[in-house]
Amino acid sequence: MTAATPSTFAHDSRVLSLISLGHLLSHFYQLCFAPLILVWNHTFDASFATLGAILTTFTLSMGAAQMPAGMMVDRYGARAILVGGLVLSGLAFAGMALATSIPLLFVMAALAGVGNAVFHPADYAILNSSLNPNHMGKAFSLHTFAGNLGGALAPATVAYLIGLQDWRFAVVVVGLLGFIVAAVLLLQGGILKDEQDGASDTTKTHAKTAFGWRENVAFMTSPPMVMLFLFFMTTSLASGGIAAFSQVVNVKIQMIDVETAGTVLSAFLFAITAGILAGGVAADKTHRHDLQAGIAFLGSAVIFAALAMQVYSIALLMVLFIIAGFAQGFVRPARDMMVRALSPKGTTGRAFAFASTGMALGSATAPIAFGILVDMDSPHAVYWLVAAFNLIAISTVMSSRFVKLPDINAKTEPAE
């Protein structure tokens, strides 16, 4: 674990505001495709399956670039990588305006995904080294909250820009946002520290010799990294399944209309946001972040098992989803604190990148896995599977406290 530099409230607020601004834009980019797909369907006379593949391309390229981005953050420093990712994302979205056919949209989506891959490893490396460690839980929760806010703003904002002129104007404006945030970070970047700042020459030498394939394979296959990967993957499978199919499942099981089911889902998503903020406060008051996560997951598992077995009134259904959403959000700052606690000096970027790769894999897999269950007319199985994923997450998070990641910087000789 890396000790943060001494800091004041004003200093920490400034750092957190800058990094959260970038995280807000990262999630904005992830969720701005929905209104664009509707317009592209008419513009290019393309099927929704083809257009959905553009979003899949963005997600897969982002997931594939996570570990390389984390390695670059640990080796060269987080600030330059973060600014570079913003510039690449901005160029890619603005470049979509040049598209006269579908293939260029695929290329630009892939580039945008690569640019978007830098945020988690770079953000957490900076927060870990720049902020007062006594307030790290709240900092992580506000950082996550900013990302959720960016995702919530994206569809309506892009739709408004399209209505203001057209979709080409909208993607250019969206792209310019990346350049604006990159410029802000460049101008204010002196306050953003990472593990390269203040490191001794010996430490920097160790860091540069710890990036061979053997070291990184050993790092990624170590028991704690595998547990963290599975933890992030199972939690994103559970939350992704709820987000994608709870509306359909509640219509079938709870026998409510689509509009009411949508309201229940919205309440769940808002409750996640509240849980994130509360979880950040709790994470600063305890060192047993595994216990914090385990209790929340157990509560969530019980609720979804109960939902699979019985029909409830609309009011009680809403209450159960709000409690489950709060529990899901309550976990997230504790989750980030566990990655931080297990990461030896110089590996923060890679640790968060590898864990985030698990999250991306879960998010990409969830719609397919739960969609198959719905197609098989097994809506109850959706909630049973969500409950099972929560229980699996408990086993991964509780086991992670007994192991530590290998210190790959301890090696002084160059890697082969």
Mark whether 312 and 249 lie in a shared domain.
Answer: yes
By the 8 A CB rule, do 211 and 68 touch? no
Instruction: Kindly list the distances between the CA atom of residue 32 and the CA atoms of 26, 36, 112, 247, 349, in Å, as whole numbers in the listed order.
Output: 10, 7, 12, 21, 26
Would 18 be classed as within a structural domain?
yes
Mark whether 331 and 389 lie in a shared domain.
Answer: yes
Which of 105 and 367 is assigned the larger pLDDT? 105
- pLDDT tens digits, 15-55: 899 999 999 999 999 888 878 988 998 899 888 878 888 88
What is the reported pLDDT for 195?
A: 59
Mark whether 242 and 322 lie in a shared domain.
Answer: yes
209: pLDDT confidence band, cut at 50, 70 and 90? very low
- Which residue, 144, 169, 198, sits at the end of a domain? 198
Mark whether 166 and 230 lie in a shared domain.
Answer: no
Look at phi and psi of residue 222 and say left if phi exceeds 0, alpha if psi is from -120 to 50, else beta: beta
CA–CA distance, 199 with 66 (Å, rounded to integer) = 24
Q: Among 81-95, 245-259, 284-298, 324-338, name the most confident range.
A: 81-95
Would 412 be classed as within a structural domain?
no
Mean pLDDT score, 398-404: 58
- Which residue, 175, 198, 221, sits at the end of a domain? 198
By residue range, what is the domain housing residue 308? 213-400
Would 164 be classed as within a structural domain?
yes
Instruction: Kindly list the distances between the CA atom of residue 35 and the CA atoms of 24, 41, 103, 156, 407, in Å, as whole numbers in the listed order.
Output: 19, 10, 19, 8, 45
Would 184 be classed as within a structural domain?
yes
Mark whether 66 and 114 lie in a shared domain.
Answer: yes
- pLDDT tens digits, 320-357: 999 999 999 998 888 888 887 777 677 777 888 888 88
By the 8 A CB rule, do 19 and 192 touch? yes
84: pLDDT confidence band, cut at 50, 70 and 90? very high
Mark whether 135 and 261 lie in a shared domain.
Answer: no
Residue type, 387: A
For residue 155, how far is the Cα from the chain centroid? 18
Mark whether 238 and 367 lie in a shared domain.
Answer: yes
Mark whether 247 and 325 lie in a shared domain.
Answer: yes
Domain count, the chain: 2
Count Cβ atoms within 10 A of the Cβ of residue 149 and give its class: 0-12 exposed, 13-18 middle, 19 or more buried.
middle
Mark whether 392 and 257 lie in a shared domain.
Answer: yes
Mark whether 321 and 190 lie in a shared domain.
Answer: no
CA–CA distance, 42 with 40 (Å, rounded to integer) = 5
Q: What is the CATH number of the domain that holds 314?
A: 1.20.1250.20
Would 206 be classed as within a structural domain?
no
Question: To 5 degrees, how large is the angle CA 252–CA 255–CA 259?
Answer: 95
Mark whether 256 and 339 lie in a shared domain.
Answer: yes
196: pLDDT confidence band, cut at 50, 70 and 90? low
Instruction: Kindly list the distances between the CA atom of residue 367 and the CA atoms of 170, 242, 363, 364, 370, in Å, as whole numbers in the listed order.
Output: 28, 9, 8, 7, 5
Instruction: Kindly list the distances between the CA atom of residue 254 and the CA atoms of 258, 302, 312, in Å, as whole numbers in the listed order.
Output: 11, 17, 7
- pLDDT tens digits, 141-176: 898 889 888 888 888 899 899 999 999 999 999 999
Mean pLDDT of all residues belonging to the chain: 83
By the 8 A CB rule, do 52 and 364 touch? no
Would 58 be classed as within a structural domain?
yes
Mark whether 38 and 181 lie in a shared domain.
Answer: yes
What is the reported pLDDT for 201?
A: 47
Would 295 be classed as within a structural domain?
yes
- Which residue, 198, 223, 252, sits at the end of a domain? 198
Would 205 be classed as within a structural domain?
no
